[in-house]
Chains A and B, each alone.
Chain A
Amino acid sequence: MGATDLLGRPTTEVEDELLELYRRAKALLARDDLAPCARAGARVAAVGLWNAVNDLGLEHEQLLDLGA
């Protein structure tokens, strides 16, 4: 079964790609073995992708517990 957005509509190929990147950025940010420079970059990436998936109505959540 394919993914859906917050309206319950099937996601597009581009949206699936964005969601995958977003999840990977979050997973990276959740690790405790990142160098400060890597953590800062991962945070910027996660925040940037959060804006995209949030704008597109794909996901809506908080990142506070990941330090963002």
Chain B
Amino acid sequence: MGAGEYWNPKTETLGREELTALQLAKLRRLTEWAAARSPFYQRSFKEAGFVPAQLRSLDDLRRLPMLTRDQWMASQGEQPPFGLLPVAGREAAIRWHTTSGTTGREPIRVLDTAKDWAWQAEMWCYGLWGFGVRPADTAYVAFGYGSFIGFWGLHYGLEKLGALNVPGGAQPTDGRVRQIVDFGATVVASTPTYALRLAQEAERLGVDLAASPVERLILSGEPAGSIPQTKALIERLWGARAGDTAGMTEIGTIMIFECRHQPGGTHIIEDHYIEEVVDPDSGEPVGYGEAGERVVTSFGRGIIPLVRYRTADLVVKVPASRCRCGRGFDLYEGGILGRVDDMKLVRGTNVYPRAVEGIVREHASVEEFQLLLTRDGHFDRVALRVEPSPETTDAEWDDLAARLAKALAEAHEGLRFEVERAGVGELPRFELKARRTVDRRDTPIGG
């Protein structure tokens, strides 16, 4: 591969041994910084009997205690509003963001300094450049800019690499479709769910997106960007290639991206992070090819050091050699596979929302869907509520429902899914972080 393939040819092409040495050098400095400045880490390192001088090899990483979201939240409660992790107060920061709040829990509040904020754009540059975005591109960002950190880093990353950035902002979907076409966008950034919604809206407006100049879609915010059926549907509707990325508020930006070779996974930006994969129960590391929980250490955000943070993301790490791009960065096969607690147990059968979405997205006439779990006495019921395109006839619906029920049962040891037709516009639409699984089994009858 030529040097033009990479945003940072020097470190993206390092071998494993050199990459590990670089990570160790950065880890020493990060832990020294955290031990010197962060009240949270001063306490947790002391409790674990850890001092940075103990870091002689990357294996010593395991001497460091893991950090959980619950600990972070408890810390925010102990010292509102930002907790004890930050090394400085709001006066040192230029940005204040929060988690999306889609779980209904109290959000995590984060600060960024000028350096941290610029670094977040830098991480997006690795991903954007890696998927083929170049200065000549016109990029449309379909994002309602707000306190959720979401695509902010992408916005500045586009400007940094020299692309023409069109911030979509808060406006109706039809307005965004028209702007994408009117501005001649060659790149569109959105969640996977919203990419589908834009395509549906374009069809209603009589706009042929496949004939538009859009060549690349940058997907983020949901695991669906790596679900093969969802990605295939998006690529077909747009006539463009879709690249998955994933990030999180706790680090402020993305940590993985799909390169232009689309190897069926996402590269980890390993010169800026250490990504471990562990057994969610024991916390012990798992090997290549085994599913486990992501644990991230970030070398980026200085005001809130992040050391061994348990993300609850379910991933499978595979070696860099899986991709032919020449990067030394390992990959997560299939991107973020879901959450470690995503799996639902229904009458003794495991139901994974990602697998259900994969089956549903094989049918392009499905506009929106919802997986609804209820309890009838002692009997669990699982229903797939489907909103087909409005022009779907009764006969077409009967055929679609039968095929969905059959495919879902076959994929779930014969478990019966009740496939129900929802009215036009009845199911919720999402711009960020779609939540299509509704589990009402703990709700008391009449509750």
- Per-position binary interface string of chain B over residues 23-62, scored 1 when its CB falls under 8 Å from any chain A CB and 0 otherwise: 0011001000100000000000000000000000000000
In whole angstroms, what is the CA distance A46 to B118 when docked?
Answer: 11
In whole angstroms, what is the CA distance A44 to B114 when docked?
Answer: 8
Which residues does chain A contribute within 8 Å of B119, judged by CB atoms?
A: 50-51, 54
A48 B118 Cβ-Cβ under 8 A: yes
Which residues does chain A contribute within 8 Å of B25, judged by CB atoms?
A: 6-7, 57, 60
Q: How distant is B264 from chain A, measured CB to nearest CB, in Å?
A: 27
Q: Which of A46, A55, A67 has the most CB of B within 10 A?
A: A55
Given the interface contacts A56-B10, A57-B11, A64-B303, does A51 sit within 8 Å of B26 by beta carbon? no
Given the interface contacts A7-B21, A7-B25, A60-B26, does A68 sit within 8 Å of B115 by beta carbon? yes
Q: How distant is B182 from chain A, measured CB to nearest CB, in Å?
A: 33
Return the contact of A61 from the options B29, B122, B271, B303 (Cβ within 8 A).
Answer: B29
Which residues does chain B contribute within 8 Å of A67, judged by CB atoms?
A: 92, 114
6 A–B contacts, CB within 8 A, in A order = A47-B118, A48-B118, A51-B122, A64-B87, A64-B115, A64-B303
Closest residue on chain B to residue A15 by CB atoms: B10
Which residues does chain A contribute within 8 Å of B18, judged by CB atoms?
A: 7
A56 B115 Cβ-Cβ under 8 A: no
Return the contact of A64 from the options B11, B113, B118 (Cβ within 8 A).
Answer: B113
Tell me if B320 counts as interface (CB < 8 A to partner A). no
Q: How distant is A21 from chain B, measured CB to nearest CB, in Å?
A: 16
Tell me if B8 counts as interface (CB < 8 A to partner A). yes
- Per-position binary interface string of chain A over residues 30-51, scored 1 when its CB falls under 8 Å from any chain B CB and 0 otherwise: 0000000000000110111011
B88 A64 Cβ-Cβ under 8 A: yes
Given the interface contacts A61-B29, A62-B302, A64-B302, does A55 sit within 8 Å of B8 by beta carbon? yes
Q: How distant is B12 from chain A, measured CB to nearest CB, in Å?
A: 10
In whole angstroms, what is the CA distance A62 to B303 when docked?
Answer: 9
The range of chain A's interface size is: 20 to 34
Using A6-B26, A51-B119 as known contacts, list a sample of 12 further A-B pairs with CB atoms less than 8 Å apart, ordered by residue number in A: A7-B18, A47-B114, A48-B118, A55-B10, A55-B11, A57-B11, A60-B29, A61-B29, A62-B33, A63-B302, A64-B92, A64-B113
B8 A68 Cβ-Cβ under 8 A: no
A68 B114 Cβ-Cβ under 8 A: yes
The range of chain B's interface size is: 20 to 34
In whole angstroms, what is the CA distance A64 to B317 when docked?
Answer: 34
Which residues does chain B contribute within 8 Å of A54, judged by CB atoms?
A: 119
Which residues, 78 to 136 on B, are CB-close (under 8 Å) to A? Answer: 87-88, 92, 113-115, 118-119, 122
A-B interface contact total, Cβ < 8 Å = 59
Tell me if B22 counts as interface (CB < 8 A to partner A). yes
Tell me if B299 counts as interface (CB < 8 A to partner A). yes
Q: How distant is B398 from chain A, measured CB to nearest CB, in Å?
A: 57
Which residues does chain B contribute within 8 Å of A43, judged by CB atoms?
A: 114
Closest residue on chain A to residue B21 by CB atoms: A7
In whole angstroms, what is the CA distance A50 to B11 when docked?
Answer: 16
B22 A57 Cβ-Cβ under 8 A: yes
Q: How distant is B171 from chain A, measured CB to nearest CB, in Å?
A: 30
In whole angstroms, what is the CA distance A46 to B10 when docked?
Answer: 21
Given the interface contacts A57-B10, A57-B271, A68-B113, does A51 sit within 8 Å of B118 by beta carbon? yes
B22 A6 Cβ-Cβ under 8 A: yes
Which residues does chain A contribute within 8 Å of B11, judged by CB atoms?
A: 55-57
B115 A50 Cβ-Cβ under 8 A: yes
A55 B271 Cβ-Cβ under 8 A: yes
Q: How distant is A10 from chain B, measured CB to nearest CB, in Å?
A: 13
In whole angstroms, what is the CA distance A54 to B29 when docked?
Answer: 12
In whole angstroms, what is the CA distance A50 to B26 when docked?
Answer: 14
Return the contact of B113 from the options A51, A57, A60, A63 (Cβ within 8 A).
Answer: A63
Which residues does chain B contribute within 8 Å of A6, judged by CB atoms?
A: 21-22, 25-26
In whole angstroms, what is the CA distance A62 to B26 when docked?
Answer: 11
Given the interface contacts A51-B122, A55-B8, A56-B10, does A62 sit within 8 Å of B115 by beta carbon? yes
Q: How distant is A33 from chain B, measured CB to nearest CB, in Å?
A: 20
Closest residue on chain B to residue A48 by CB atoms: B118
Closest residue on chain B to residue A55 by CB atoms: B8
In whole angstroms, what is the CA distance A23 to B92 when docked?
Answer: 21
Q: How distant is B438 from chain A, measured CB to nearest CB, in Å?
A: 43
Given the interface contacts A55-B271, A57-B22, does A47 sit within 8 Å of B8 by beta carbon? no
Which residues does chain A contribute within 8 Å of B303, judged by CB atoms?
A: 64
Closest residue on chain A to residue B33 by CB atoms: A62
Return the contact of A60 from the options B21, B122, B299 (Cβ within 8 A).
Answer: B299
